[in-house]
Each structure stands twice: as structure tokens, then as C-alpha cells.
A and B are shown apart, each in its own frame.
Chain A
Amino acid sequence: MGTVAAHGLRKSFGKVQALDGVTLDVPDGSFFVVLGPSGAGKTTTLRAIAGLEKLDAGSVHLDGRDATRDAPAERDLAMVFQSYALYPRHTVYENIASPLRARRCSSGEIAAAVEQMSSLLHIERLLQRRPSQLSGGEMQRVALARALVRSPRAFLMDEPLTNLDLKLRVEMRTELTRIHRSLGATFVYVTNDQVEALSMADQVAVLKEGKVQQVGTPTEVYERPANQWVAAFVGSPPISLLACRADGDRLVGADGWTLPRPRWTTAEDGRELLLGLRAEDLSVEQRGDVSLSGELYGLEPLGDRTVVDVRVGTEILKVKARPTVTGTPGERLQVTVDLDRAHLFDAGTGLSLSEAGR
């Protein structure tokens, strides 16, 4: 068993409201990612679950039992810190053995467990070194080994891959997913990297300014963002948002463009809206019935694809195109829009208006 339920977490640091009613329900065995920009309260949430942060309000239930007032040691959780927090005066072996020593395991058990972990994470050669003699990637593995060496209720990971270089990060992503599958344990994983969130998670909770914006599978969060902010935060290149308003069977842009009004929207006429268009739902290469005209603003070749920036009125649309696309800035372009995949948000509240009709 390993369910983690955090309800109505509130925590302020001086005038800053770090957590403003955060509620998360992490199912047993899931890979649960808390995603948000820096300062969103992700780490505070994790530390609150771990018992390292005293809450102003709210409760933490572990396996259905109220653990809000339990000391960290009593919660039976393991955590990987962003800084790794390896004990500097102890060898790698002693670092990994620490959770077992705290539980007074016999030295035979400890040796066996450390050996098993170090072979799982390929750090057998490092056991007698000290943390200062390790590279970033090696430290990360040791920190992971220290967490994995016992079988806690759940694993808490605070941006464990942030300090690694890109190549290593991609490798470790795969490895973490593999470890999660083989252990079948509950992972609560905090990151500001949406690629990590989308690629690893069973469930994603998007956090902003201490409030949960949306909880769902990666697909749900990407395909059906609950609000304008989630839509803009998740996805690369970022979604293009155009100010507009509904007018009969048309959407009229603030810059004068018009598009047919999508059938699924329930917005009443005259309401200020934001039309959200993802780069892959736009095209400058295919002809379609529904299009916007604009001029080429710039090209961002990314190797496997090129992002074409198209200026429509005063706003920039990001359009995904094949890497072979060419053009000169200022050139007139037609951008084909897949309106079935577009998103509409209330310009005032930012909330999605797409859901009701779909």
C-alpha cells in the first residue's frame, strides 16, 4: 500500500503564501508528478508531505491514516532532494546504508541491500568514495539508491534530474520509469520540466502560486487544459493565444481577423475570449478551408522540425513545420487552422470554455 492524500495544505512564509489550499490524491503505485514553475509551491508541497514543513492548515493522510502531526521518521517515506543532500563526511556505502542503520538492520542485511541497490544503479565502483569525489550524475544515483534501499510507503522526489546535463537527464528519465515499473511503488515527483512530467507521469498536478490548477493524465493536461495558464505552461513551443470575441457564427479577432465559430463552444456573443492554438494544429504548408493570414516573422529551426513565427495583426502565432520550410521575413502567409483542436478560454477568468461542448 502507498496512498498519499494531502488535503487543503496551507503554508505561508512571512507575507508569501506558498501553499494556498493544495489538495492532491496520489493513488497507490502511481507515478504522480507535481508540475509548476519555480515558486509555485511544489517543493513546499513535497516537504509538507514528508513532514519537514509545519503546515498552517490542512492534513496529510498516508494509507488512509492521518499523519499530519507525525515526525518525518514515522511516515515511512523516502525522499530524493534536488541538492541530493548526500552526507559529505560519509562514504557512498554509508550514505546508502543510512536508512537501514536508522532502522537497526544487521550489518549483513545492510551489505546485501547496498550491494543490490548499487548494482541496480551501476554504482558498485563508487561505494568507498565520498560525495565530493562524485560527478553530478553519480551523486544523483547515490541519492536515488539511498531512497530506494528500503521499501517505504512512497518515494518523494524533488526535481532529482534538474542538476544533470541534458543527455543524462534523458537517460535517467527512462531509468526512473523502469524502476517505478519494476517496484510498483508510489512516486510523488516534483519538476518544473513539462517534458519530464508528460513523459513519466501517470497523473500530473499542475501547480501555480500555491494553487492546484489541474490534475489529470498527461494527455488530459495537454489536450484539455483547464485554463489559459495551464495551456500556456504545458507544451513546447508554447500555445499561441489570440484575443477575440464570439459574434454570431464567427469568431472575430481583436486584430480584425475572422474564423468560423467552433460548434462546440458555448460562449455567448460579445464575451471576451482567448483562442488557443497549438503549434502542431497550425500549418503553413497545407491548404485548408479555415485559415488566418499573416506575415512571416521568423524561423526557429530545431533540427527535427522548424517553428515558424507568423505575425497576425499584433500577435505572434507559433506554427510547427517541416525542417525544410523556407521563407523570408515579411512574406505574406496563410496559416491553416485545425479548429477542432483549438481551445477557447474566457479572457477574464482564464477558464476553459472548450469542455462543455465536446
Chain B
Amino acid sequence: MAVSVDEAVSTGPARDHAPPARRLGGRGRSVLEVVLLTVLAVLMLFPVLWMLETSIKENRDVYAIPAKFFDFDVTMAHFKDVFVAPDGGRTALSVSFFNSVVVAGVSTLLATVLGVPAAWAYSRFAVRAKKDQLFFILSTRFMPPVVVVIPIFLMYREFGLIDNKLGLILIYAAFNVPFTIWMMKGFVDEVPAEYEDAAMLDGYTRLQAFWRYTLPLLVPGIAATAVFALIFSWNEFVFATFLTSSDSVRTAPPAIAGLIGGTTTDWGLVAASSVVFALPVLVFAYLVRKHLIAGVTLGAVRR
């Protein structure tokens, strides 16, 4: 069952009949909670707020000292600059966003198409050394990906995958397949195998049984898993930096990072492109928030 934030931070059984404000109970306690949570929220959210503000400030307000928090002039020019070049054509940034969409989308699709059937197979069939295989699959996620950047780079150079969207798609899919298998195996385990048994006796083949009766029940799990994979691919920075160089292939993270540096930095443009970059992830996370919690509290999912 999904646990809401309210439930998760509840401090114990309801105190309906307890006298108020005894020690740190009652109002005193909840005031303290609110204060602490507010402080935490401000600390965590200030950079986000600053990014949002900067993205809509006039340039002279962006660089104003002391910084202007409220009385600045609002402009959408930075957002226009993200997509439209001064000569009226597409900017390199907008191309990089498109690349990010393609790379993240296709790699997630690939990981899902490969990972879900694998998870189903690991869940349903007696596979030789199943636990060892699963551990091996998981172990590919133990090391920090940076460790293999150089070998991958050399490999990719041999295969001509450097500065190639396909190269990024493959490496992201490779990182997401183990994750997809592990997360989806939990979801498949939750679906009784008897639906498939019944379908096979109805006259369907095993694959038809999976397709007709198990897969529809896995859709929420697939959505949650795919969003995690999508967020990983969307945010990935290190491989994108090492394996791409041209503006036409580059994804958004290195492209945005590339805006910083040089003699002057257009902070308004950096902030606006960061906002554009962050939005899809926020929207997706919001859409599947219930399943995200279900996904991270695996095993507690109640059907």
C-alpha cells in the first residue's frame, strides 16, 4: 500500500484523549515539526526557487548586487533564447533537448522491451542458478558508471559509436536493463501465476497467456519502472560528456553545462534551460507518483 507523506512522518498513535501540550506533545510538538520541516524545505528548495527566478529576470536584475528577490522585472526572453537563435533558426540547445528526448525515450523503450520479459521469465520459470544470475545482473549496478567510461570510450571508437546517438541509447539501455529486471521482477512476483495457468488451460500458449492476462496487470509497474529509467537516461551527464562532441548529437546535460564557462556566463539562459530541462522529469514523476512510492516500497504493494 502506498504511504502518504503525512502517514510516513506521523509520530505515533493518535492522541485524541491526551491532555494538550503535555511535554512536547500536542500543539507544541506539531509546531516544532512544522518549523523544522519549513527550515528543511527552504534549504532544499532555495536553489530551485533561485533558478526559477533567474530564468524570468531581466539581465540587469540577474547581475544586480545586492541580489533582487522580489522587485525584479519579468521577462520570457531567456526561454525564447533557449529555443530560438538570434538569426531566427534553432539553437544548439533546442537540438540538444530534442536529442535528449530521443536518447532517453528510445533507451527506456529498449530497456523496457528487454527487461520486462526477462523479469517475467525470472519470476515464472525454474532457471538454473537463478539467484546467481540475478545477483550478477544486479552487480553491474554496484560500481559507479564512471569507472567504465574509458573502456567504453575505446570500445565505442572501434565500433564508430562515438558522437552517435545510438551509442548513448545503447549504453543507457545497458544500465537500465538490470534495473528494469529487478524492479519488474518484484511486480511480476505480485501477479499470481495462476492467471497464466488458467489461460494456458483455456487454450492459449504461454506467451499469449502472458500477453493477454499478465501484461495488462503489470502496466502500473512498467510505468513506474520506465519513469525511473527515463529519469536516469534524461539526467545522465558523464557518458554524454565523454561520448559526444558535436552539437547535433549532444544531449541537454552537457549542452547546458557547456553554457557555463568562457569569459561571461549568460545566467538567465542557464537558468531558463535548466527549468526546461527539469520540467519533463517533474511532470512524469507527478503523473506516476503513486506508483513511484509503490515501486520503492516493493512487496508492500496491495492489489
By a beta-carbon cutoff of 8 Å, the part of chain A in contact with chain B is 47, 50-52, 54, 71-73, 77-79, 81, 83, 85-89, 98-99, 101-103, 146, 156
B192 touches A73 (CB 8 A): no
Complex Cα–Cα for A88 and B217 (A): 9
Contact B199 A81 (CB under 8 A): no
Contact of B203 with A by CB under 8 A: yes
9 residue pairs from A and B, CB less than 8 Å apart: A50-B201, A52-B197, A77-B201, A83-B194, A85-B192, A88-B303, A99-B201, A102-B199, A103-B203
Tell me if A71 and B194 are in contact (CB < 8 A): no
CB closest residue in chain A, given B194: A85
* A72 and B217 form a contact (CB under 8 A): no
Q: Which of B192, B216, B303 contacts A83 (CB 8 A)?
A: B192
Q: Which residues in A have their C-beta under 8 angstroms from that of B200?
A: 51-52, 71-73
B residues with a Cβ closer than 8 A to A are 126, 192, 194-195, 197-206, 208, 213, 216-217, 303
Q: Is the CB of A78 within 8 A of B194?
A: no
Contact of B213 among A54, A73, A87, A146 (CB under 8 A): A87
Residues in A with CB closer than 8 Å to B199 are 87, 98, 102
- In the assembled complex, the Cα of A256 lies from the Cα of B213 at a distance in Å of 65
Which 8 A-B pairs rank lowest in CB-CB distance, beginning with the nearest?
A: A102-B203, A85-B194, A72-B200, A99-B202, A85-B198, A98-B202, A79-B201, A73-B203
Give min CB distance, A69 to chain B, whole Å: 14
Contact B206 A85 (CB under 8 A): no
Known contacts A85-B192, A87-B213, A89-B216, A71 near B206 by CB under 8 Å? yes
CB distance from A89 to the nearest CB of B (A): 6
Partner of B197, one of A85, A86, A88: A85
- A79 contacts which chain B residues (CB < 8 A)? 197-198, 201
A153 CB, min distance to chain B CBs, angstroms = 12
Complex-state Cα separation, A94 to B235, whole angstroms:
44
With a cutoff of 8 Å between Cβ atoms, the chain B residues found around residue A88 in the complex are 195, 217, 303
With A87-B213, A88-B217 in contact, is A73–B195 under 8 Å at CB? no
Whether the Cβ atoms of A73 and B204 lie closer than 8 Å is: yes
Closest to A72 in B: B200
Q: How far is the CB of A32 from chain B (nearest CB, A)?
A: 18
Interface pair B201/A73, CB less than 8 Å apart: yes
Rounded to whole Å, the gap between the CB of A88 and the closest CB of chain B is 7
Q: Please name the residue on chain B nearest to A13 by beta carbon.
A: B126
Using Cβ atoms and an 8 Å threshold, which residues of chain B touch A73?
200-205
CA distance A51 to B203 in the complex (A): 12
Residue in B197, B205, B206 whose Cβ sees the most chain A Cβ within 10 Å: B197
Q: Is the CB of A72 within 8 A of B213?
A: no
Query: For residue A71, which residues in chain B have a CB less than 8 angstroms away from its CB?
Result: 200, 205-206
